[in-house]
Amino acid sequence: MTRASQKSLKVKNLSAIIDGKKILNSVNLEILAGQITVLMGPNGSGKSTLSNVLMGQPGLGKITGITSWKNKNILKLEPWQRARLGLFLAFQYPYEVPGVNFYEFLLTAYQAKYGKNGSQSDFDQRLQKGLKDLSLPEKFLSRGLNEGFSGGEKKKAEILQLHVLRPEIAILDETDSGLDIDALKIIAKNIKQLAVKEKIGFLVITHYQRLLDYLNSNRVYVLHDGQMVESGGRVLIKKIETQGYNWLTKKN
């Protein structure tokens, strides 16, 4: 499949003004289905704001620009409509939802997405494969959603949702934060597997090369002071790892 024919989510001139301050300034970005795209940048550059804007978090402020997906400008859609169109956001700090059983949550979400096209056997098959691939025990499902989960368990729980729901575009906001080396390897392996086998397009937001070493992504964007200032591949990642972001401050 050529780049021209490959399905993608395209962000064009996206700006966000929050509490009178411009957090995003004419951002351009493309997320290709079946590929892992990486977004890097210093703290406060607007990375999390970008992920929240793409998923439609309410009350963010004035949002302008176009984000096209399946011939729609999703900026005009409600968050649930974006999810129905195949978008997914894994939070940097996943919320705890006491009293909501994790298994029931996954089943309800699966049924909401697939309706009559889904089945209990298909759900169970996806769920069991996800548990196995993430090295999670069956009893993990009987707990409340993220309730009492460790940082690593919360991140694995979000990747398990990807196994079950199989969105078309997944935005992972610092999924590697708080992970030990073993959990990091497992999650990176699952991301690569879902990108290749399920053709999920990933936008992976991270600070660190360690995760990128396992993902082997060659599509990297750098956000700085709300602007997309650099794009490239492994050479750019290495430069950030060795020099930090000070050179961007001087350049821009």
Domain locations in the chain as residue ranges = 8-234+242-247
- At residue 252, does pLDDT exceed 80? no
Of 86, 80, 22, 81, the residue nearest 50 (C-alpha): 22
DSSP code, position 157: H
pLDDT (average), residues 206-211: 80
- At residue 66, does pLDDT exceed 90? yes
Class of domain 8-234+242-247: alpha beta
Q: How far apart, in whole angstroms, are the C-alpha atoms of residue 129 and residue 111?
A: 18
- At residue 246, does pLDDT exceed 80? no
Q: What is the pLDDT at residue 1?
A: 40
How many residues are present in the chain? 252
User: In the beta sheet, which residues pair with residue 26?
Assistant: none
- At residue 60, does pLDDT exceed 90? no
**C-alpha distances in angstroms, 240 versus 74, 101, 149?**
32, 41, 32
Average per-residue pLDDT for the chain: 90
- At residue 4, does pLDDT exceed 60? no
Of 91, 55, 67, the residue nearest 15 (C-alpha): 67
Q: How far apart, in whole angstroms, are the C-alpha atoms of residue 8 and residue 20?
A: 31
Q: What is the pTM of this model?
A: 0.91
